Amino acid sequence: MTAKRKKIIYLVTKSNWGGAQKYVYDLSTGLSEEKYEAAVAGGGKGRLFDKIRKAGIKAINLDYLERDINLFREFIVFFKLFFFFLKEKPDIIHLNSSKIGGLGALSGYLANVPKIIFTVHGWPFKEERGLLSIAVIKALSWFTAILSDKVVVLSETEKSLGRKIWIPEKKLIKIHNGVGDISFKNKEDARKYLSGLVGFSSEDKTIIGSVAELHKNKGFDILLPAFAELAKQYPEMILIIFGEGEERKRLETIIKKTGFAGRVLLPGYVSEEPFYLAGFDIFVLPSRKEGLPYAIMEAGLAGLPVVASDVGGINEIIEDMKSGILVRPKSYSELKKAIIFLLENKDKSRHFGEVLREKIKKDFSLKKMLKETERLYN
């Protein structure tokens, strides 16, 4: 007799495309269809839903769900979720991001969902906020964890932070993000692709690149002043940041003020990512806050030297001055020095990329992430 498939509903606050959304996509499409019936629910009508539907997974839009706090909307979303769970009768709900985490955990608990999993993609109380806001968010994070059966953290740093807000040790489980094999373009083809996409001749350029949501947490407002200083010293250098988000207008204003608008490009999202990564010379992620970023793993698989802020679980991916360079968050001077080091030490730069590629293949595979998550579900 064939065993009944477990019904899993993945929930995420926003349906745009970022780390939490990629995580949901990889799990919902990567687990065995014979064992699991997956569906994805979230706010908005973003890129995640487009990709989910193409993969044959059910996507459910939750009206009124958005990142900003609005008590009236939260009340509506809570009741929608409660009755949705009563109707669908999932075996597991898997919550991603703090907003849907709190609403989903409470509504799932009251609807008697058998298993509630909450994945923390970077604790929200580590964002730059007022003391009162931080205290409230810590309390809500604790409340979400208490209502959940297990809390998945992406790194030892995040696990330690969970302990500090009195989440029981037995609830916390570390599972690294993982990436699958990527068929990167070779460097020449990637350069041609980038040239066509952003409208420049790439032959004589040094390309500093990044891929992330244009959000304050990603620290691009720190990178831009560093690049402005570098641009004076390296006239062949350009900066390309792929991604979209609420910080676009602010970043465009900073770019104009630097006087190097023609050498900083914000092309938005592209359908070919991350295949073009091999066209970059250096990858930079200057985040203020992170969980365990996919962008660095993908850059590592491409063999790129990486400069990144030492936040979240990044130091579990990159060992400073052995497989990349770690800098303090919000330090544009350290960013600048790290980029100069890689530019002036080509052999070291290549070595960092090679070491990081092997590290990603060994410790951060998609197969490993799926296996550990399936074990958690069972």
- Give residue 254's pLDDT: 94
Torsion sign over Cα 204, 206, 210, 216: negative
Whether residue 243 sits in one domain with residue 104: no
Sheet harboring 325-327: ordered strands across? 264-268, 237-242, 206-211, 282-285, 306-309, 325-327
- Rounded Cα distance between 309 and 360, Å, is 18
Domain boundary among 174, 200, 221: 174
Q: How many Cα atoms are found within 13 Å in the side-chain-facing hemisphere of 254?
A: 18
Whether residue 127 sits in one domain with residue 104: yes
CB 41 within 8 A of CB 72: no
- DSSP result, 249-280: HHHHHHHHHHT-GGGEEEEE--TTTTGGGGG-
Domain boundary among 142, 174, 206: 174
What are the strands, taking DSSP E only, across the chain? Answer: 6-14, 36-43, 58-61, 92-96, 115-119, 150-153, 172-174, 206-211, 237-242, 264-268, 282-285, 306-309, 325-327
- Give residue 2's pLDDT: 58
Whether residue 160 sits in one domain with residue 50: yes
- Rounded Cα distance between 82 and 104, Å, is 8
Whether residue 207 sits in one domain with residue 144: no
Whether residue 168 sits in one domain with residue 253: no
Range of the domain at 96: 6-174
Give the residue among 186, 238, 13 at the shortest CA–CA distance from 104.
13
Q: Is residue 357 part of a domain?
A: yes
- Give residue 271's pLDDT: 73
- Give residue 202's pLDDT: 64
Give the residue among 128, 63, 140, 127 at the shortest CA–CA distance from 99.
140
Element (H, E) at 315: none
- Rounded Cα distance between 306 and 24, Å, is 25
Task: Please report, for the domain that includes residue 130, its CATH number.
Answer: 3.40.50.2000
Q: Is residue 256 part of a domain?
A: yes
Model-level pTM? 0.90
Whether residue 100 sits in one domain with residue 249: no
Residue with token string 């402005």: 228
Whether residue 207 sits in one domain with residue 167: no
Letter for the amino acid at 353? Answer: G
Whether residue 355 sits in one domain with residue 304: yes
User: In a structure prediction context, what are the per-residue pLDDT tens digits for the chain, which is 378 residues long?
Assistant: 457 899 999 999 989 888 999 999 999 999 998 999 999 999 988 889 999 999 999 999 988 776 666 677 888 899 999 999 999 999 999 999 888 999 999 999 999 999 999 999 999 998 888 999 899 999 999 999 999 999 999 999 999 999 999 999 999 999 999 999 898 988 888 988 888 877 777 667 899 999 999 999 999 999 999 999 999 999 999 999 999 999 999 999 999 998 888 899 999 987 766 888 999 999 999 999 998 999 999 999 999 999 999 999 999 999 999 999 999 999 999 999 999 999 999 999 999 999 999 999 999 999 999 999 999 998
Q: Is residue 358 part of a domain?
A: yes
Q: Is residue 197 part of a domain?
A: yes
Number of domains, the chain: 2
Sheet harboring 36-43: ordered strands across? 58-61, 36-43, 6-14, 92-96, 115-119, 150-153, 172-174
Q: Is residue 373 part of a domain?
A: no
CB 150 within 8 A of CB 117: yes
SS3 category, 204:
coil
Q: Is residue 248 part of a domain?
A: yes
- Give residue 232's pLDDT: 92
